[in-house]
Structures are given as structure tokens and as C-alpha cells.
Amino acid sequence: MRIDIITVLPDLLESPLNHSIMKRAREKGLLEVHIHSLRDYAINKYGQVDDTQFGGGAGMVIMCEPLSKVIEKLKSERNYDEIIYLTPDGETYHQQTANRLSLKENLMMICGHYKGIDQRIRDLYVTLEISIGDYVLSGGELAAAILTDSIGRLLPGVLNDETSALTDSHQDGLLAPPVYTRPAEFMGLKVPDILLSGHFAKIEEWRHEQAVERTQQRRPDLMKD
């Protein structure tokens, strides 16, 4: 898979995508992530990529011209399955969306900044608008890192144990059950006996029951779905 990310602040994406699982995915050649600085496509020598809003109002808007230039350049080099704009008014991101996007070959992500991007870019190019939650960030860079991580870890061969992703929270519509490791007793708290029994069928049954109970307690809205 290849992911191209367009941003005003490329340095914000360097660290999250160059460590741990994402680093291994890129080193294995399973995931390509290319970060494009929008200022390389600025309209003048001062690096301008934004301007004031028509109609007045606080906050700057990222202009059409620089975004169109980089999008057209990338589209001329390959076909994109989705051109994603990270925005608070997009559809809320869910694990099912991550699953679907992990099956794609080429994704482009546009990071908003300031008051966002000119609506005409959304009308002309964007095929999917995503919000990672009902709150506002300074820009879309951290949201793009979240999407890249959540999608990249699902690619075959990225995780050492490929079944691990299948038991994550939200993968089956439930939160994950509690997990334990050594020692078997810590500060008077013991690991549930069932996990030490070696009876794997009963362990899986216990884990499912715990997942349902935890979901009912913490996210009853998921049970409605």
C-alpha cells in the first residue's frame, strides 16, 4: 500500500510514522508513506499557501492553487482509490472504515489547517471526508497519522501475529476484554483462574463474556448497534 499525505507542517508527521509498527511496516516494504509539503507548491516566493476568507471572518483558508497543483501531480503518477480530507465535519472514523481502507492500494490524505481548505478542492477532488472525533485539532496532521497507523497495522505481514488485530477493541463491535501477564499475583490481585487453566475453549468463552460486559458498562451505545 502507498499513502501520500499533503500537509503544511510535514515535520509533525515524521516521528509518529518512523517508530514501532509503522517503521517495521515501511522497512518490510509493506507500506509506503510519502509526505508532501504544500509550501513546495506555494503561489509565490514567500511560501504563501493560505489567504483570508471571502465574506470576512477570523482565520485563514488554504488556497485552491497549491492544493490543486500537488493533487494533480500525484494523480498523474498513479490512480488513487480514495482522496481523503481530514476534517471535523467529516464522517466519524470507525474500525470498519479502517478495515475497508486497508484493502486499498493507493490513498491520498489532505491535512486541513487554519480554518480548513477552500470548498472547491473538496468539491473537485475529495472522495472521502473523515473526522477522528467531535473535537478540533490545530491541523489534520495528527489525524492523518492516526489513520495511517490504524490502516497500516492491518496489512498482512505487518504484525508478527496476524490474529492480534482481529481481537482488538471494535473489531467485532465489542471492546476488548481485560488482559494479564506475569506475575500471577501482584499487590494481592490475582490473575483469574480460568486464564491459568489451559482450557482454551473456556478461556475464549470467558473473554467473550468479559468483552460483552465491558462494552455494556463503558460503551452501551455500541450494544445498540
- Domain-by-domain residue ranges, the chain? 2-152, 169-224
CATH of domain 2-152: 3.40.1280.10
Strands 32-37 and 2-7: parallel
Per-residue pLDDT tens digits for 153-173? 999 999 876 555 666 656 778
pTM exceeds 0.85, yes or no: yes
Per-residue pLDDT tens digits for 28-67? 999 999 999 999 999 999 999 999 999 999 999 999 999 9
- As a residue count, the chain comes to 225
φ and ψ at residue 65, rounded to 5 degrees: -55, -55
Report helix, strand or coil for 116. Answer: coil
Q: For position 46, what pLDDT does the model report? A: 95
Q: For position 164, what pLDDT does the model report? A: 59
Q: Does domain 169-224 have CATH number 3.20.10.10?
A: no
- Residues of the chain whose pLDDT is less than 50? none
